[in-house]
Amino acid sequence: MILTIEDKQFDTKEITQLYPAVVIKTGYEDETTQVSLEWIEVEGKDKVEIVGYGLFVILHEEEKYSFIFDTKEKMDEAAGKIAAQLQK
């Protein structure tokens, strides 16, 4: 099955991980890192600077693709489109 995220297509057989995360500044220069949505809600709210929200795809050959959105709502919308494709 082919899965389309934004304008990129993936063969679902090659995907080893597909997950949402929040991209935050680490506090060191312009460095960023990913944290879970749960961590932001429980531990990080108002404590860290959020850069964006992302959907991340890792393929079995260790290739990684990042789709970054300005808001959680935009990320949720993209995740909904992915879910709709997977339900077909």
**Residue-range domain boundaries for the chain:** 20-86
Conformation bin of residue 64: beta by default, left when phi > 0, alpha when psi is -120 to 50: beta
pLDDT attached to residue 46: 83
Cβ pair 57, 5 in contact under 8 A: yes
Predicted local confidence at residue 64, as pLDDT: 95
How high is the pLDDT of residue 10?
A: 97
- At 44 the pLDDT is 82
Residue written as tokens 């389309």? Answer: 4
Which residues in the chain land under pLDDT 70?
Answer: none
Q: What is the pLDDT of residue 62?
A: 84
- Alpha-carbon distance 48 to 61, whole Å? 32
Q: What is the pLDDT of residue 37?
A: 93
